[in-house]
A = this chain, B = another copy of it.
Amino acid sequence: MANDVFRLAGKRSTAPRRLILEVLKSESGHLDAEAVHDRVKARSPRVSLATVYRSLAVLKDMGLVARHSLGEDHGHFEAVGDDPHFHLTCAGCGAVVEFRAPEAVGTARKVCAANGFALADIHLSVSGYCRQCRIRRRRKSGTAASKTGAGR
């Protein structure tokens, strides 16, 4: 199996790490640390949340996992696959739609080159309101300081 990814990266291949990576690969969605922890605990109850964070950090350093700030709130993690994609999120209900945008990659490369940077990561996330949320929104408009993303 491709369990040697760790060895090759000079890291140890441990059960928690393998499990976490497996979880992220199977659930193609975007899980936050807590969600990953839940999935992992189902199979290995003694794995701690701290280990999940530490492992995610390692996996990210290895380039196998990406972290996104989807709802502008806390982090979401995702296995890095073959083709890069980005995220469209609904500011109302939090729904997430993935989309491809090769142009964005080109843009990023150009900008990096122009500034002497070595490209590491591209984060393109678009937010808006889905149909449902636009309707809901029309009724109760301008109630109070709503959700900002400034927060929590």
Residues of A within 8 A of B (CB): 9-10, 33, 53-54, 56-58, 60-61, 67, 69, 72, 75, 77, 88, 90-91, 97, 99, 101, 103-104, 107-108, 111-112, 114-131, 134, 142, 145-146, 148-151
B10, B69, B101: the one within 8 Å of A111 (CB): B101
Cβ of B117 and Cβ of A130 under 8 Å apart?
yes
Cβ–Cβ contact B111 & A146, under 8 A: no
A121 cross-chain contacts in B, Cβ below 8 A:
91, 126-128
| Nearest CB on B from A58, distance (A) | 5
Given contacts A67-B150, A112-B126, 11 further A-B contacts (CB under 8 A): A53-B150, A57-B145, A67-B148, A88-B112, A97-B111, A97-B117, A117-B126, A118-B134, A122-B125, A123-B124, A123-B126
